[in-house]
Structure 1
Amino acid sequence: MRMNRRSFMIGAAGTAAGLAFAGGAMPAFADATQLRAMWWGSPDRGKRTVAVAELFHGKNPDISVVGESISGDGYWAKLATGMASQNIADVFQLEPSTISDYSQRGACMPLDQFVPSTLKVDAFGKDVLKLTTIDDKLYGVGLGLNSFSLFYDEEIFQKTGLTPPGPTTTWAEYADLAVEMTKAAGKRAYWGGPYGARYVYVLDAWMRQRGKSLYTKDGNLGFGVDDAKEWYSYWEELRKRGGTVPPDVQTLDQNVIESNCLALGKSAIGMAYSNQLVGYQLVIKSKLGITMLPREKKDGPSGHYYRPALIWSVGATSKNGEAAAKFIDFFVNNVDAGKILGVERGVPMSPTVREAILPQLNPVEQLTVKYVQLLKDQVGDYPPPAPMGSGEFDQNVARPIADQLAFGKITVTEAAQRLVDEGKAKLKLKKS
């Protein structure tokens, strides 16, 4: 069952997770602090989150939690509404590409005041906190480690006799493999892999492999028109060779699992974040494998880096900052909570939690942990935090340009020029 907008009540009257439509009247609890928590994700994520909130309430009966799961772009619309009305959820979910944007727009409360009295994050390591620290203030806590990844259908590779991509696969080798898979699969409306020009996080790795960056420290684009031209040329050539899904399939992707071409059964390969393997495997019957994104050269940099998979932030307008921080601390540091969450939101930041959950992980979850460990000697330095406007650069610049290119409405040269010009304008606009 897919969740669109749902509310989960974990209240002082009891720990049953009652379901109600979002926006409906919620009962008030006497002598209790009521927290609103908001996130996006699969039904599985919702169940795990509610279970942890129930556990938290059981140990903190004076704090009740109203949780709301919203899928797709509806989440950001809801957050924008909350910002406009000065009524942001007490605890809400962000990601590395959006925390800088929303913290600088005043959506997030600085959390330094709660460290280390309530938020005990010292064991995470200072480097891990860098991507949630903006202008020297901590605006969120990462819920797990992940990185970019490539998923593939192990069964179709076995059936065709083709060798799956691996950690040293180059982009040139990947292209040949994707074309070969389209032919070898022998299935109607089925292709080798995605039209990856649409994915900004893949562009991020691509640029890092070439000594460039997606963004600079001062919040501008870290690449030029010629770099973008090389990027688009690669994907257009691969599309024309038959190695990618066509644009009418790729544009269905709303950056949620259910609409990805791999999950739709339209391709043998998909690109996503490593923690999403758990969610993908729940909707795909075939066994999935996971490996790194292709690289420019076999002995060259991978372009990968560890990142907080997802982030809890506290609403700037919250009157319950201390209680919200207490909930977040429980989420990331309580061993029993960790056992419920597993690695669906990434490999736990806390070494104690990580060690405690390893024995109970199922094979898919263990694969996620092994992948993060595989990257240990492959990851590079952290990039600067994504600048304000990066979310809009992704959604309103990069994706539409890739779509227009794939549909043949613009040329590679035009797409490259527009990506840089419109990208710079969007980032500059957001900084002003």
Structure 2
Amino acid sequence: MKKFFGFMLIFLFLLLAACSGDSDEETTPDATTDDVEQSNENQEETAEEGEEAITLRMSWWGSQNRHDMTNEIIELYEEQNPHVTIQTEFTGFDGYFEKMAAQASGNNLPDIMQQNFGEYVNQYASQDLLADLGPYVEEGTIDLEGVADTVIESGKVDGTLVGIPTGTNALVATYNPSAYEEAGIEPPTHDWTWDDFVDIATQYHEATGDYGTRLAEPGNMFDYYLREKGYSLFNEDSSGLGYDDDQVLTDYLAMNKDMIDAGVMPGYDVIQQVQGLEDELIVRGETPLDPTNWSNQVGTLEKTAGEPLEMVVLPGENNDQGMFLKPSMLWSIGKNSEHKEEAAKFINFFTNTVEVFEVIGSDRGVPIKPEVREALQPNLSEIDQKVYEYVNYVAENSSPADTNYPPAASEVLSHLEDIDEMVMYGQITPEEGAQQFREAAESVLAE
């Protein structure tokens, strides 16, 4: 598997290099000559004052709203730490890890990087690409006093702390209450089932002609679907799938395929045209329901939509078993970084500074430090208040997140996405899709 991953890193590096001239990926604008000269002058002045001038590279994915807020936070940090200059690299989620793979192949990962809980952080940790953050916590450079042990554990892979959660997060079905009111349809509630999900979406489509729900790509949704039914995507030792009966995946695929065929749910031809959160169907008024969100995304959706949105847990008779809290994302430090201590200081700043979350709200989840949450509570915006309340509800009505993602999990999920797409396009049946996924997953996990 390590040989395969190494090969893929090299391949992706060459591919990205070849395509870079035509890329429309959202990235940080190149620094101008004046910018570089000004940065050099600032660093020289700082060096003259006795502190070593440090430049850190920092990468993340997200919406334009997140980019703007993160840049504001970086400016605040640089004002307080004039010897530090942070070079930013940001994209949408699509393409982020391909770009990271190319950087990893050249031993050039950023000093500070946003990592994704589960398959990706496990994959990078398995390749020994992430720094051990434990010593920085032990010596107090990163202050995690008062943070719940379960939250800290979520940043560990095989016992090593490789990521500091930016906040806590939960899956959410987001809906537009005014759209349901205008259509004369009752919106979903926390106790809805999968039959309710299909019925509500179908009623709305029949009443309005619009889509009743957004298509749910299978990665997070099928993982939840399995948990809600008492299974998991991977077995305990990550050597195979965590369910034996392929009828589970067959039923899931058939439910979505039937809704697409009926016009209740859009197919991939529509979804693949969506350009980030600000362009989602619920924002454009083309559906009242989006079951694919994380709680930290709802603020951006509501802000862009320009009207209130509401949140419920995902459907299912046992949704308290399916629901879970997870890190919204993680801050990691590249093992190749020459400035790990300074990178750790920025992560500490982000984790412990109230002003950071006054800027970013709930976009990176509910803060992990109790005193930060308490300081923010009286002045939360209406949408952030709703997010906090929702996360609190999930905390009381959920089960622990699965952490047993094998290093090859991203490859397994890629097969699931490809098979889901073939089923939704009618190229193979749900039964064939379920069988093909098992064969592909077992082949990958056996390597």
Could you state the TM-score of these two structures normalised by the residue count of structure 1?
A: 0.89
For residues 212 and 142 of structure 1, the distance between their equivalents in structure 2, rounded to whole angstroms, comes to 26
Confirm or deny that 1:40 pairs with 2:58.
Answer: no
For residues 445 and 307 of structure 2, the distance between their equivalents in structure 1, rounded to whole angstroms, comes to 41
For residues 399 and 263 of structure 1, the distance between their equivalents in structure 2, rounded to whole angstroms, comes to 24
Q: Which residue of 2 aligns with 1:14?
A: none
Residues 205-224 of structure 1: pairs in structure 2 closer than 5 A: 205-219=224-238, 220-224=240-244
Q: Which residue of 2 aligns with 1:257?
A: 277
Confirm or deny that 1:193 pairs with 2:213.
Answer: yes
Of residues 262, 279, 292, the one that matches 2:313 is 292
Q: Which residue of 2 aligns with 1:99?
A: 121
Confirm or deny that 1:418 pairs with 2:436.
Answer: yes
Post-superposition shift, 1:354? 0.9
Distance 1:20 1:385, change over 3 A: farther
- Paired residues of 1:142 and 1:308 also in contact (CA < 8 A): yes
For residues 339 and 77 of structure 1, the distance between their equivalents in structure 2, rounded to whole angstroms, comes to 32
For residues 25 and 379 of structure 2, the distance between their equivalents in structure 1, rounded to whole angstroms, comes to 27
Matched AA of 2:444: K
- Paired residues of 1:347 and 1:369 also in contact (CA < 8 A): yes
Q: Which residue of 1 aligns with 2:73?
A: 52
Distance 1:249 1:243, change over 3 A: same
Confirm or deny that 1:132 pairs with 2:152.
Answer: no
For residues 284 and 446 of structure 2, the distance between their equivalents in structure 1, rounded to whole angstroms, comes to 37
Matched AA of 1:203: F
Q: Which moved more, 1:384-393 or 1:335-344?
A: 384-393
- Paired residues of 1:182 and 1:191 also in contact (CA < 8 A): yes
Confirm or deny that 1:362 pairs with 2:385.
Answer: no
Distance 1:212 1:279, change over 3 A: same
For residues 258 and 217 of structure 1, the distance between their equivalents in structure 2, rounded to whole angstroms, comes to 38
For residues 350 and 446 of structure 2, the distance between their equivalents in structure 1, rounded to whole angstroms, comes to 36
Could you state the TM-score of these two structures normalised by the residue count of structure 2?
A: 0.86
Distance 1:250 1:83, change over 3 A: same
2:384 aligns to what SS in structure 1?
A: helix
Confirm or deny that 1:281 pairs with 2:299.
Answer: no
For residues 25 and 199 of structure 1, the distance between their equivalents in structure 2, rounded to whole angstroms, comes to 44
Instruction: Write 1 or 2 for the structure with the bigger share of helix.
Output: 2
Q: Which residue of 2 aligns with 1:377?
A: 396
Of residues 401, 405, 408, the one that matches 2:426 is 408
Can you give the 5+ residue segments of structure 1 that lack an aligned partner in the other structure?
Answer: 8-18
Q: Which moved more, 1:105-114 or 1:383-392?
A: 383-392
Residues 23-422 of structure 1: pairs in structure 2 closer than 5 A: 27-28=39-40, 29-30=43-44, 31-97=52-118, 98-116=120-138, 117-186=140-209, 190-196=210-216, 198-219=217-238, 220-224=240-244, 225-252=246-273, 256-258=276-278, 260-270=280-290, 271-295=292-316, 297=317, 301-394=320-413, 396-422=414-440
Q: Which moved more, 1:73-82 or 1:238-247?
A: 238-247
Matched AA of 1:92: M
RMSD, aligned α-carbons: 2.1
2:146 aligns to what SS in structure 1?
A: helix
- Paired residues of 2:278 and 2:300 also in contact (CA < 8 A): no
- Paired residues of 2:230 and 2:321 also in contact (CA < 8 A): no
**CA-to-aligned-CA distance 1:66-125 (integer Å, 9 cap, x gap):** 122112433222211210111110001111132111111232111111113211123211
For residues 319 and 422 of structure 2, the distance between their equivalents in structure 1, rounded to whole angstroms, comes to 32
For residues 225 and 312 of structure 2, the distance between their equivalents in structure 1, rounded to whole angstroms, comes to 16
Distance 1:58 1:300, change over 3 A: closer
Post-superposition shift, 1:40? 0.8
Distance 1:300 1:313, change over 3 A: closer
Matched AA of 2:163: G
Matched AA of 1:312: W
For residues 67 and 355 of structure 2, the distance between their equivalents in structure 1, rounded to whole angstroms, comes to 17
